[in-house]
Structure 1
Amino acid sequence: MGEKSKSTGEAGETVAKKFLEKLGWNNLLEGYDIKCLHSAEHRINQSKRRTHGLDFFASYESPLINHRLDCIPVSMKYRKEYPKKNPTAEFKDFIIDISGAKECLKYNNIANLKKTKSIKQKKFSGVILWLAYNEDQETDIIERITDFRSTETFDNNYGTVYLVDNKRANFILGIFDFLKSGYSDYQHEFFYPKTSYQLNQDITTVRSSGEILPLQFINSSVIPIKLIKEQKSDSEEILVLFSITRFDRDHFTRFVGMSYSLTVGWGNKIIFCFPDYHKLTHEHSISEVLHSFEDQKYANKIEVRKFSFGDFRKLED
């Protein structure tokens, strides 16, 4: 049992590292124990806590909010299966653990390793990768977590913690598989929509795309990608919007409106990707939505494609 547990843990660490690096979260710190500064409040059962174990720690300058460093402790929970009953209880244990680590991390030296004049604030947020290797690729544990209430210590405030389950992890991996198989000759970047935080910022410092997936997108239902191909006379730029949800006419209509606002001034082509798209089933709905769109020049740029969810288990090796 001990050897099996060890091999499962090692496989989980390998999956987590490869997954996070695909997000552009490079130069990860792995396997750190940091001193607990609130040993009584963060106690384990009845014993005072001495340290917090960090599976991974990532930090990067936010591409969405200028002058901010995002500091992210990551906890990997690699299991054979999800709980059959009451996953909320187990999730509560996970979130209490990472939130305590996050609280003490603020005063640890590893949170101060990146120092640049451009950084004026730090934001600490946690990520829990809760993956079950014997479950379906699209198993959604998040929808089963209900009635979660904070009743513990830490000033009754866990802060921001993102949960990534099978469905969210394989959604993101499916994006990379799609781009690799069909657009390997293009440069791939995550597209960064403008935010309210950038209204008063120097426009020359605002990035529209880059190699880092912002933390705020890690469990999003829509992820935008910018494809770029440099050519002799000009460059070709394509916006690809990936949806975790299945095709729906109303959802597609909102997609078209969203993409229109995102591609003002650029975009040779717009591609929408759905996991269940089937031309014969959906082509009439798509044609009717595009026919009703006022800007027909823009509507003619739109294509709809199918993509498949990935499989995080392939990252074990």
Structure 2
Amino acid sequence: MGEESKSIGEQGELIVNNFLELIGWNTPQSNISINCVYSIAHKSKTAKKERSTHGIDFFYANKSNLKINTLDNIVISVKFSASEYPKYPSTKFKEYISDLSQTLECFIRSDLRIESIMGFNEQRNIKKADDLGVLFWINNCNKSLQNITKEVATIETPKDLKFSRIYLVDNSRMVFIHKTITKMRSEYSNYLINFHYNQSDANFSDPEIIKYGTVMPVEYLTADILPFRLINDKDTIFGISTNDDFSEENLNSLLAYASDISLDFTNQLIILFPDYNKLSHNLICEKIIGKFNRRTHKTIVKILSFQSDFWSLGDE
């Protein structure tokens, strides 16, 4: 039983490690142990001894491109199982969040955090560090797309937990991001796929902020819209993938969003929906895109599904 549990854990860490590489979080530190600062308060209910350490599955740090002069220290916990999600996930969710929250609480006072900040301060102008958690709660059931994030959204976490933000990534979220990037790479193999970094009051005044790059911001992990720039020597395409189903309203909204961002650097746009079907949706697309182009400069708009099934072969 112990060997099987170890094998399952290793498989989960391998999946997450490859996923982190997919989103540009290359060479994260892994399997780190930090000292527990609150050994009594963080003691497990079933443990006889006080807690001495916390284990960190992965640690990744990067200067944020969405926040001014900010370093994101990201503590990653992987919870992987061979079976489906529990029918009532609240108990497990509270257990996993509590564990990661306590790890973050001790990480804030750890040598690992000090080393991370000093390492970036030597290279770039860092004035603030955000200490964040990412919980990968995933399993080996490829049909288990139960939206855990929505199910636990209203669950109250224990009031004694202290953390800034924790992002929850479940199977459905992994599928959305993985299929989106895979589709982009397949469809535009001669382009470099970059994440577009939205400009806002939180980052516009930082002279070092760039507008796009190969590293996904941590905030995009739980976003239902992923913006991209596809770039090669000849041109640039603005790409949007949405986790929301195709509808006239959603297409209108995405075109408006794209026009606010992309008209100064491209006249080409690709939009990915999870359920787009040319036969069912083409007339709506022609109507909406026609209206859009009458209001703005003429834009070449291509709409596809990011799902990989044989019906998508007819969307060309």
Q: Is the pair's TM-score, using the shorter chain for normalization, greater than 0.5? A: yes
Match of 1:207 in 2: 210
Residue among 145, 151, 160 paired with 2:158:
151
Counterparts of 1:80 and 1:144, CA distance in 2: 20
Instruction: Give the superposed CA RMSD.
Output: 1.9
Summarize the Cα distance change of 1:308–1:126 in structure 2 as closer, same or farther, 3 Å threshold. same
Amino acid at match of 1:182: E
1:187-226 correspondence runs (5 A): 187-202=192-207, 205-226=208-229
Q: Within 2, Cα distance between the matches of 1:137 and 1:297?
A: 42
Matched with 1:74 is: 76
Note the C-alpha offset of 1:85. 2.6
Task: Provide the residue aligned with 1:251 in structure 2.
Answer: 250
Tell me if structure 2 keeps the 8 A contact 1:77–1:130.
yes
Q: Does 1:134 align with 2:141?
A: yes
Deviations 1:94-114 (CA, angstroms, capped at 9, x unpaired): 111101111111121211332
Instruction: Indicate which of 107, 110, 123 corresponds to 2:109.
Output: 107
Task: Give 2:155's aligned amino acid.
Answer: F
TM-score by length of 2: 0.90
Q: 1:98 aligns with which of 97, 100, 104?
A: 100
Q: Distance in 2 between matches of 1:153 and 1:208?
A: 39
Is 2:52 the counterpart of 1:50? yes
The offset of 1:135, in angstroms, is: 4.2
* 1:51–1:263 distance in 2 versus 1, CA, 3 Å: same
Kindly indicate whether the alpha-carbon contact (under 8 Å) linking 1:241 and 1:273 is maintained by their aligned counterparts in 2. Answer: yes
Structure 2's unaligned 5+ residue stretches are 310-316
Maintained 8 Å contact 2:85/2:139: no
Q: 1:77 is aligned with what amino acid?
A: K
SS of 1:4's partner is: helix
Structure 1 residues 42, 239: CA separation in 2 closer, same or farther (over 3 Å shift)?
same
Change beyond 3 A, Cα 1:135–1:201: closer
Aligned AA (1:8): I
What residue is the counterpart of 2:20 in the other structure?
20
Query: Separation in 2 of the partners of 1:296 and 1:270?
Result: 16
Sequence identity (%): 27
Deviation (angstroms), 1:46: 5.8
Higher relative contact order (CA 8 A, sep 6+): 1
The structure 1 segments of at least 4 consecutive aligned residues displaced by more than 3 Å after TM superposition are 199-202, 294-300
Q: How many aligned positions are there?
A: 302
Counterpart of 1:126 in 2: which secondary structure? strand
SS in 1 for 2:120: coil
Unaligned runs of 5+ in 1: 311-317
CA distance in structure 2 between the partners assigned to 1:152 and 1:296 by the alignment: 51
